[in-house]
Structure 1
Amino acid sequence: MDTTERPSQGIYDVVGIGFGPSNMSLAIALEEHEASSPQHPVTSHFFERQPAFGWHRNMLLPSTTMQISFLKDLATFRNPTSRYGFISYLHAVDRLVQFVNNQDFFPTRQEFHQYLEWAAALLGDKVTYGAEVTAIRPATEDGGAAPDLLQIEVRTPDGGRSVVHARNVVISTGLVPRLPDGVRGDERVWHSSQFLARFRAQDPAGLQSVAVVGAGQSAAEITRFLYDSLPHAQVSAVIPSYGYSVADDTPFANQVFDPGAVDAYYFGTERARDSFWRYHRNTNYSVVDADVIRALYQRSYDEQVRGGEPRLHFRNLTRVADVERSGRVTRVALHSLLDDRTEELAVDALVFATGYDGVDPARLLGDFDRHFLRDAAGRHRVERDYRLLTASESMSCGVYLQGGTEHTHGLTSSLLSNIAVRSGEIADSIVLRRAGRDLDGAPAVRVASPAA
């Protein structure tokens, strides 16, 4: 195709990059809009680089549960009657009665993953798997950039390349695993995102000493799993704080994840936004559910009761200073802040549950990124409807973010808690902007966050 000409057909209203829960929720919102307004169809397609749907597969540990209610699914908070809700899934698999009898608001992670797979299968015609978007740029028209059309380059499953055109793109590429500076992963040094696959590739008899680095939920769950799965092994938890801190999931604190809290954060003062993080980081970041903390403490206490050499070791206020491979053994230099000493620990497997980094949209936008405004800290300025703020009011094509908007929209930006409402707001924005008006009837360009 000659990309200097506007294509006469095959223009999508929306192209989604990534097909995890957030963009799945958007696909559902767009489908349900079309069902309610068939006279105004919205065309969309999604590209996912994974060969099939998968969501944190390597952390589907036995008996681990979701940290959110089953009602915070792909659709219910936006449309309680949606056929894509978790309750609809339970009915479809003939397990609704049993789930109710279980009397638990929090399904296992395995069951929630099955729900997501079920929804992904229903949306199969909306997504191409094994396809990676490599670039986004404005389409060209009469030698210049077309203000209302985007050109998306895609590496196709067969290794070829294609170009699709859309009026809007929604970027939901997830997060990138983070390892400490200077640490490189290998078959014995893992990030938590690789855990189950790496663990299953090992001979358990060869794992005599293992260590887990981190203070959050994943670190605690992996520590418990290793202790239970390797009854012969020494298990060390390397914790940067003085033990695990409990996650605040009490009702008032949980209001920070309510849809209404997004407005409170977005339109709040700088002092208010700072208070959100200062007072409520303990709802999600570097914290652990109380039942997991108690379970680990109980195992440690049971060892004391039984006597003998303990297998479970908590190394509090300790940092990893260096990691060195020596044959099949990994040597870890651990620096204790308690006595300012460094000791060496030899392990057969070292797991870093050290979190994730966001992906800067500029990686896909390339030179096109200069058309979008950034704040004084160098972060993208984002409108209330999750659309990147453009430098030119004449640019009507839209780039939306699902994730990476913590600085403008608050704590829920990369979490499941608000995906149904957030995706509905993005879908509404796309539909209403196409009709030539903004969400509140104002001109099509909204004022950016006061945080800018």
Structure 2
Amino acid sequence: MTTRSGPSVLEIAGIGFGPSNVALAIALEETYGAGVNSPGLTMEFFEQQPAFGWHRGMLMEDATMQVSFLKDLATMRDPGSRYTFMAYLKAKGRMAKFINSKTLFPLRVEFHDYLEWVADHFAPVVSYGSAVLGIRPVVEDGVMEYLDVIVRTSEDGSDPIVRRARNVVIGTGLTPWLPDGVEESARVWHSSRLMDRATSLTGTLRGFVVIGAGQSAAEAAEYLHRTFAGAQVNAVFGRYGYSVADDSPFTNSIFDPEAVDEFYGASQEVKQDLLGYHANTNYSVVDLSLTEELYRRTYQESVLGRQRLRIHKASRVRAVEEHRDGVRVTVEHLPDRSVEVLDVDAVVYATGYRPSDPASLLQDLLPECKLDDEGRLTLDRDYRIVTAGDLRCGVYLHGANVERTHGLSAGLLSNTAVRSGEIADSIVKR
């Protein structure tokens, strides 16, 4: 292994450079003057993707955000930040036009452009195309003072590089999840690849099957129905209909920054209750306006006698058989056990995501980490992994991995700006 040129010891090494660690970079720069060449607080981030990207496969041109633009990467922490969404609009010359649109929810493609705009400001402290292989403790005088981050920067067999840091912040995001036994192919995809895979199809298309009942499933069904005018779109899910997301004002307060303190201090039983009560704010639910639009289309088509959007409610997929010319999907209607066979061009699994497991990077550190009764990492309120007393360096977690300890906002944009500020403050104060 080789040591990368640069500061001998970084104060902060970030693993992943999605919205959470971008927000951390903002907080570290604006509050503490951090930078790659900062004499007092150096930082560097390692991102596996070749360039910044956030759910690129679902960037439909008319899809909107489900969270207010005010919950961007900085506003909730510091409304005067130069990295707010409003600052982005000012830089792009669209502030007045956006205000005139009278919306809190910008287009998803525009918000992604905002995220890229911010990420570009930190290009000097980001190594793209860099996969972190592991984290090793460095012991001096019997105390773990530093962490060596092992990074592979290419696929050509070159030796990994090593970057030494006092603190590591893991923000590796979510991983697309497929049911056991399902493998992606040219005709079977996870919804996270929708845009790339769908646009690669050519010729006259017969139809699609979309599996799932959440926002991504509904958006995929709507997009395919609108884009491929001659194709039939079959939405398959076990419910009787799409469940609507609860975004009412009182319920939304579970995403407020102060709710994190309440959740963290609650008993395990209360935490489980709260997660269960409010799962319908984010999981397997759909915006009301989208469900209404899909229903309107199915009704219109039933009147016209051309049913191209078909909703297979209370149903499940029993078999998916790919062949040279398409995919044969067997769908079972659960109430009466009847079976229908669909011959389509592609199947989209909108089956959600799972948090990336940070333990895979921390094998050499696990003996020093406190685990709960279920063998999971224990976190302090400041998102730092609780470790033994002889480990002075810090490891922090972002995102969905901390939902069980810090609440529903942990893996969402809602609290990203505040959470990142808290992590930055903890690093500096320690």
* Letter of the structure 1 residue corresponding to residue 172 of structure 2: T
Q: Which blocks of at least 5 consecutive residues in structure 1 are unaligned? A: 434-452
Q: In structure 1, what is the equivalent of residue 309 of structure 2?
A: 312
Tell me if structure 1 keeps the 8 A contact 2:385–2:397.
yes
Q: 1:34-84: CA deviations, max 9, x gaps?
A: 249x99832110011111111111100121100000010001100110000
| Residue 399 of structure 2 corresponds to residue 400 of structure 1 | no
| Residue 73 of structure 2 corresponds to residue 48 of structure 1 | no
Q: In structure 2, what is the equivalent of residue 440 of structure 1?
A: none
* Letter of the structure 2 residue corresponding to residue 375 of structure 1: D
| Residue 162 of structure 2 corresponds to residue 185 of structure 1 | no
Q: 1:259-286: CA deviations, max 9, x gaps?
A: 1111111101223212212221111110
Cα distance change on mapping 1:364 and 1:325 into 2, 3 Å: same
Give secondary structure in 1 for the equivalent of 2:373. Answer: coil
Counterpart CA distance in 2 for 1:139 and 1:9 is 17
Q: In structure 2, what is the equivalent of residue 66 of structure 1?
A: 65
Counterpart CA distance in 1 for 2:39 and 2:425 is 12
Q: In structure 2, what is the equivalent of residue 170 of structure 1?
A: 169
1:409-420 pair list within 5 angstroms: 409-420=406-417
Q: In structure 2, what is the equivalent of residue 389 of structure 1?
A: 386
1:232: how far off?
0.7
Tell me if structure 2 keeps the 8 A contact 1:246–1:287.
yes
Tell me if structure 1 keeps the 8 A contact 2:48–2:131.
yes
Counterpart CA distance in 1 for 2:249 and 2:39 is 40
**Which residue of the other structure, out of 16, 28, 44, is the alignment partner of 1:18?**
16
**Among the aligned pairs, what percent are the same residue?**
51
Tell me if structure 2 keeps the 8 A contact 1:149–1:168.
yes
Counterpart CA distance in 2 for 1:40 and 1:383 is 29
* Letter of the structure 2 residue corresponding to residue 415 of structure 1: L
Q: In structure 2, what is the equivalent of residue 208 of structure 1?
A: 206
Q: 1:185-239: CA deviations, max 9, x gaps?
A: 1000000111100011111x34211010111111001101111111111110011
* Letter of the structure 2 residue corresponding to residue 26 of structure 1: L
* Letter of the structure 2 residue corresponding to residue 137 of structure 1: R
Q: In structure 2, what is the equivalent of residue 330 of structure 1?
A: 327
1:2: how far off?
9.2
* Letter of the structure 2 residue corresponding to residue 218 of structure 1: S
Cα distance change on mapping 1:369 and 1:291 into 2, 3 Å: same
| Residue 359 of structure 2 corresponds to residue 368 of structure 1 | no
Tell me if structure 1 keeps the 8 A contact 2:2–2:161.
no
Counterpart CA distance in 1 for 2:335 and 2:414 is 37
Q: In structure 2, what is the equivalent of residue 438 of structure 1?
A: none
Tell me if structure 1 keeps the 8 A contact 2:45–2:125.
yes
Tell me if structure 2 keeps the 8 A contact 1:18–1:48.
yes
Counterpart CA distance in 2 for 1:2 and 1:177 is 32
Give secondary structure in 2 for the equivalent of 1:297. Answer: helix
1:407: how far off?
1.0
| Residue 53 of structure 2 corresponds to residue 57 of structure 1 | no
Q: Which blocks of at least 5 consecutive residues in structure 2 are unaligned? A: none
Counterpart CA distance in 2 for 1:164 and 1:344 is 55
1:339: how far off?
1.4
Counterpart CA distance in 1 for 2:56 and 2:6 is 41
Q: In structure 1, what is the equivalent of residue 249 of structure 2?
A: 251
After TM superposition, the score normalised by the length of structure 2 is 0.95
Give secondary structure in 1 for the equivalent of 2:106. Answer: coil
Counterpart CA distance in 2 for 1:115 and 1:158 is 30
Counterpart CA distance in 2 for 1:39 and 1:130 is 24
Tell me if structure 2 keeps the 8 A contact 1:154–1:162.
yes
After TM superposition, the score normalised by the length of structure 1 is 0.90
Q: 1:4-31: CA deviations, max 9, x gaps?
A: xxx9951001000000000000000000
Q: In structure 2, what is the equivalent of residue 379 of structure 1?
A: 376
Q: Identify the range of structure 1 (285-294 vs 275-284) with the bigger mean alpha-carbon deviation.
A: 275-284
Cα distance change on mapping 1:293 and 1:164 into 2, 3 Å: same
Counterpart CA distance in 1 for 2:362 and 2:11 is 18
Counterpart CA distance in 1 for 2:179 and 2:330 is 13
Cα distance change on mapping 1:2 and 1:84 into 2, 3 Å: closer
* Letter of the structure 2 residue corresponding to residue 353 of structure 1: A
Counterpart CA distance in 1 for 2:241 and 2:155 is 49
* Letter of the structure 1 residue corresponding to residue 108 of structure 2: R
Counterpart CA distance in 1 for 2:364 and 2:204 is 50
Q: Identify the range of structure 1 (156-165 vs 76-85) with the bigger mean alpha-carbon deviation.
A: 156-165
* Letter of the structure 1 residue corresponding to residue 146 of structure 2: L
Instruction: Give the number of aligned pairs.
Output: 425
1:344: how far off?
2.5
1:244: how far off?
0.2
After TM superposition, which residue ranges in structure 1, 4 or more long, deviate above 6 angstroms?
A: none
Give secondary structure in 2 for the equivalent of 1:366. Answer: coil
Give secondary structure in 1 for the equivalent of 2:137. Answer: strand
Q: In structure 1, what is the equivalent of residue 280 of structure 2?
A: 282
Considering only aligned residues, what root-mean-square deviation do their CA atoms show, in Å? Answer: 2.1
Tell me if structure 1 keeps the 8 A contact 2:2–2:162.
no
1:139: how far off?
1.6
Counterpart CA distance in 2 for 1:217 and 1:30 is 34
Q: In structure 2, what is the equivalent of residue 115 of structure 1?
A: 114
* Letter of the structure 2 residue corresponding to residue 179 of structure 1: L
* Letter of the structure 1 residue corresponding to residue 175 of structure 2: V
Tell me if structure 1 keeps the 8 A contact 2:135–2:364.
no
Q: In structure 2, what is the equivalent of residue 27 of structure 1?
A: 25
Counterpart CA distance in 1 for 2:300 and 2:282 is 29
